[in-house]
Each structure stands twice: as C-alpha cells, then as structure tokens.
C-alpha cells in the first residue's frame, strides 16, 4: 500500500492520520534550499559582460574582435565607419557635405592612432598579427 495515507482511530474516537516520514519533508525542502543558495562563491569575480560587436564593424573583422583590448576595438569600429563613408558616392552637393562631415568625424587622426596601436602591440604576437591582417585588409600602411 505504497503512497496511501493510513487513517488511525484514536481512543477518543476521532480519526487521525499517521505521520509522514521525515524524509518526505526533507525532499520537499531541498529544492528550495538549492535555489536559494548562490551558484558561485561570494569571492568569485563577476563574469565579464559578453562582447557586443558594433554594427559599424565589417563582418570580415568579427573573428577575434572580442578578444582584443578596448582601444583596438574602438579603433576598428571608427576605421570601418570611416571606410564606409569614404566609399559612398556623393550624388549631390548636400550628400557631398554629409560625407565630408562624416569623414572628418571618423577618419581624421586615424593614421596616427593606427601607428600608435601598431607600436603599442608590436610585442604582443596575437594582437600584432590581428592588427597586421586588419591593416592589410583595409589598406592601412604598416609601420
């Protein structure tokens, strides 16, 4: 008679239920305790947020992008935006003005920033290799 409750009649004539085994109560409490417990020790560092690749970064530059330091990622997003506007056709005077403003915003100073990054990461082989491939792909001079 597994799983059935047994009813006992006490001396006073009232019906009482047999006590449930203590292990059943424990089984009901364990999942609640497991959910309440922290998943990681309090001393563990919080995980870094996932890298989000900006829309401005060309898909061919996505491979390895998230492993790069923030200054390189910022430069790549800026340079890819520069290349986008530099490749646009100025079909009228207003569009030419828009493109010139965008190129001034995203292209000015990129050559100096490129040279600085190449110098800064020259002794870091994985990042130096990534920068070299990137520079060749977008037509930047390799210092």
**Average pLDDT per block of 10 residues along the chain, 143 residues long:** 54 57 56 58 60 91 93 96 92 94 94 95 95 92 72
Residues 76 and 127 in one domain: yes
Residues 28 and 72 in one domain: no
Residue 105 lies in a domain: yes
Q: 139: left (phi > 0), else alpha (psi -120 to 50), else beta?
A: left
pTM of this prediction exceeds 0.85 = no
What is the pLDDT at residue 134?
Answer: 94
pLDDT at 77: 96
Range of the domain at 12: 7-34
CB 7 within 8 A of CB 16: yes
76 and 107 in contact (C-beta within 8 Å)?
no
Retrieve residue 72's tokens.
């390189």
Q: In this structure, is residue 114 part of a structural domain? A: yes
Residue 120 lies in a domain: yes
Q: Specify the number of domains making up the chain.
A: 2
29, 89: one domain: no
Question: Looking at residue 99, what is its pLDDT?
Answer: 94
Shared domain check, 134 and 79: yes
Looking at the structure, do residues 68 and 133 belong to the same domain, yes or no? yes
pLDDT at 141: 81
Residues 27 and 66 in one domain: no
Same domain, 15 and 70: no
Query: Do both 29 and 68 map to the same domain?
Result: no
Instruction: Specify the pLDDT at position 7.
Output: 54
Determine, yes or no, domain membership for 13: yes
- Taking alpha carbons only, the member of 71, 113, 104 closest to residue 86 is 104
Same-domain status, 24 and 67: no
pLDDT at 49: 61
Asked if residue 63 and residue 126 are part of one domain, the reply reads yes
Q: Is residue 108 part of a domain?
A: yes
> What 3-state class would DSSP assign to 46?
coil
Is 54 a member of any domain? Answer: no
């Amino acid at each position: 008679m597994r799983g059935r409750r047994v009813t006992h009649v006490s001396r006073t004539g009232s019906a009482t239920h047999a006590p449930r085994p203590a292990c059943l109560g424990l089984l009901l409490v364990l999942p609640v305790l497991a959910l309440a417990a922290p998943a990681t020790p309090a001393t563990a560092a919080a995980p870094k947020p996932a890298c989000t690749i900006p829309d401005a970064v060309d898909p061919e530059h996505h491979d390895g992008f998230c492993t790069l330091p923030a200054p390189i990622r910022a430069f790549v997003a800026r340079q890819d935006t520069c290349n986008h506007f530099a490749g646009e056709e100025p079909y009228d005077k207003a569009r030419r003005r828009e493109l010139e403003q965008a190129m001034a915003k995203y292209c000015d100073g990129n050559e100096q920033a490129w040279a600085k990054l190449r110098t800064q990461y020259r002794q870091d082989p994985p990042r130096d290799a990534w920068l070299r491939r990137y520079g060749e792909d977008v037509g930047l001079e390799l210092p």
